[in-house]
Chain A
Amino acid sequence: MAQPAPLSTVRVVTLTIDDRDFSAREDETIIEVCRENNIPIPSLCHLDGLSIWGGCRLCMVELEGQTRLFAACSTRVTEGMRIQTQSERLRSYRHTILELLFAERHHVCAVCVSNGHCELQWLAQKCGVDHVRVPYRQAAYPVDSSHEMFRIDHNRCILCTRCVRVCDEIEGAHTWDIMGRGTDCRVISDLAQPWGDSTNCTSCGKCVQVCPTGALVKQGTSVGEMVKDQHFLPILARRRHAQ
């Protein structure tokens, strides 16, 4: 159950998004205001209830008077801010980012347990990515099936770090972290040991549920069977903050 918000002195600011007027609390980020008002902003690393990461860059928006782009998930609203969430430049960047994600590792949707329930696949369709213009990297990444309940397929990982954050911030176990740079970068359990050998993993499965793709999945699922449920997250996040 949601905790009643404490009376605060947070100010309300007015701003425009895509030329429409809105008011919002000054401690809110652009993406939060957009989501509250049903303005679609693509994102793969942002998730309500987890800390801000700003890694996927899909939520970039234009601010009037600024030449550079801003990540909607990590930029707080200010008084008089004028935000554009859709433009030819943004569409082109988002399109390219998605293509690069598909080219970087093996996202073979047709043989993925998350087929039909994948945020990357859904966003690609939404953003009109019907092919990838750059060559696929064709690099092989490991699959760790050592955990008795879950599996991680690094070929399908987009390094959004949702698993790392939910394990640390909500479950409090911090089994996951990130290792390596560039194309060698990958999420690791414990000190890059097999997941099944982890002594601090509680097998809660929160990482599996928040993973946007088919990288973290339940064992024993077949193509298209891995349906994720993230309802627990905002509830648990609110309770954590209330403590």
Chain B
Amino acid sequence: MNTKKITVATAWLDGCSGCHMSFLDMDQRLVELAQWIDIVYSPLVDTKELPKTVDVGILEGSISSEDDLKKAREFRQHCKLLISLGDCAVTGNVPALRNQFKLADVFNRAYHENVTLQPQIPTCDVPTLRVPVKPIHGEVAVDVFIPGCPPPADAIWYVLSELIAGRMPNSSAVTRFGA
């Protein structure tokens, strides 16, 4: 029966991983979900590369760096349906709070003012930060939005179940900004 499972890829951009934790909070329903979907790429699995074509992409976190933007574009390109999961992805939320300040001041606050040992601004192996921080749909088209900080496991379950059943979910029935 499981010849044609729905493939799902997930990633977190500028988020706290809380939305992925909420995904895991579906608990025993994950077993049921596994009958219908295959997670082909995610921080939760070991695959290193996003497959060429994925049915559903789920992005957590806002677009705050060049790396976030690159991942969001990759997801849009490779996923037939793209979901913004959680307030950071949907609104910018906490990461976007830095938009009120100059980037130099944010760096200074994080790497000098609050640091006692070897204060320095990291330059190696870190992606360049973008200004302003944007929600995912500020850069690429998004098909389904699941607000919440984090969205409750029940909301994620509802949205995925509806999509599996071939229906377009109404997220507002189960979650809201800040939920």
Contact = CB atoms under 8 A, between A and B. Distances in A.
Interface of A: 102, 106-112, 115-116, 121-122, 124-133, 135-136, 138, 140
A109 B87 contact: yes
Contacts of B91: 102, 108, 131-132, 136
B137 to A, nearest CB: 6
A111 B94 contact: yes
A109 B138 contact: no
Chain A contact residues, majority secondary structure: loop
Nearest to B177: A109
B172 interface: yes
Nearest to B136: A131
B73 to A, nearest CB: 18
Interface stretch (B23-31, B41-49, B141-149): B141-149
Contact of A109 (B96, B101, B178): B178
B90 A130 contact: yes
Contacts of B138: 135
A111 B92 CA distance: 12
A135 to B, nearest CB: 7
B96 A128 contact: no
Among A102, A127, A129, A138, the one with the most B-chain Cβ atoms within 10 Å of its Cβ is A138
Given A106-B97, A131-B137, A140-B100, A112 B178 contact: yes
Interface in B115-161: 132, 134-135, 137-138, 142, 145-147, 149
B93 interface: yes
Contact of A110 (B100, B170, B171, B178): B178
Contacts of B147: 130-131
B176 interface: yes
Contacts of A106: 97, 100
B10 interface: no
Given A108-B97, A110-B87, A111-B94, A130 B142 contact: no
A19 B4 CA distance: 49
B178 A121 contact: yes
A184 to B, nearest CB: 16
B99 interface: yes
Contacts of B92: 136
A138 B145 contact: no
B28 to A, nearest CB: 27
Given A109-B178, A121-B177, A130-B171, 7 more contacts: A109-B87, A110-B93, A110-B178, A131-B135, A136-B92, A136-B132, A138-B99
Nearest to B92: A136
A116 B97 contact: no
B65 interface: no
Contacts of B135: 131-132
B84 interface: yes
Contact of A130 (B99, B101, B172): B172
Interface string B11-54: 00000000000000000000000000000000000000000000
B84 A131 contact: yes
Contacts of B132: 136, 138
B142 to A, nearest CB: 7
B94 to A, nearest CB: 6
A142 to B, nearest CB: 11
